[in-house]
Amino acid sequence: MHGESTLFDMAEFEREAVAATPWEGVPLRYVTEYHHPDDLAAAFERWTGEHGNFGCLMRSHMWHRAYFGRQDVAASDEAHELHMLNADTRCDLAEHDHSADPLPGGLMYQANCPPCRWHVITEHENEAVEAWHDHAMPGWRALPILPTKLSTADEKKARAAAAKWCAENYPAEWQRPGAPVITRRGPYGGRHVGGRSPFGGYDLAAPNN
């Protein structure tokens, strides 16, 4: 028990030392104005340095890089990049500092394009992904839709079949690094998945209509 207490004291001492160091970066709270993804990541790291990692996502409400299914994408012309970030803004709103940006009260998604200093914040991941494609790759909504049987899953044969289908059916200008594909999915496969396009971009789920 004495050893555990010593470790706890050391961790507290380290957090206090971090907190005593001046910070001039992104405000250590939920923000809606544009910031570079690296600056947002640095601010989140600073917050955890001061307060620890326990419950850090809900306690800080800060933007952090998406842990699940993260996929940063660069358009082939290098004019655009997609960085996906998350923020958990669920909390007791009565205790929130109302002088800061208001908290939406849910899980928020940000698509961020550093070369343009462009970003969009939504309550739905798919909406953020689509907004970036509208920004960086206008015209993607008119692409041919891959049949369900050619869904770009991780299996080697399925990916090869999808690549062959795209080579025969996609416009030449859309067969480039970072380009997306649109796939007809089943009723429970509606999430846009980064990195599953044969071109290294997103596998975008076609609307179910």
pLDDT tens figures, 31-68: 999 999 999 999 999 999 988 888 889 899 999 997 65
> How far is it, in rounded angstroms, from Cα 158 to Cα 163?
9
Cβ neighbours of residue 18 under 8 Å, at least 6 residues apart?
46, 49, 50
The answer to whether residues 25 and 62 touch, using CB atoms and an 8 Å cutoff, is: no
Compute φ and ψ for 50, nearest 5 degrees: -85, -35
Which range has the top average pLDDT, 12-26, 58-72, 126-140, 183-197? 126-140
3-state helix, strand, coil in the chain (%, to 5): 40, 15, 45
Residue 105, Ramachandran bin (φ over 0: left; ψ between -120 and 50: alpha; else beta) = left
Beta strands at 73-74 and 81-88: parallel, antiparallel or unpaired: antiparallel
Dump pLDDT digits (tens) for 66-82. Answer: 765 455 676 666 789 99
Residue 93 has pLDDT above 90, yes or no: no
Task: Name the residue with higher pLDDT: 170 or 55.
Answer: 170
Residues 6 or more apart from 144 whose CB is under 8 A from it? 169, 170, 182
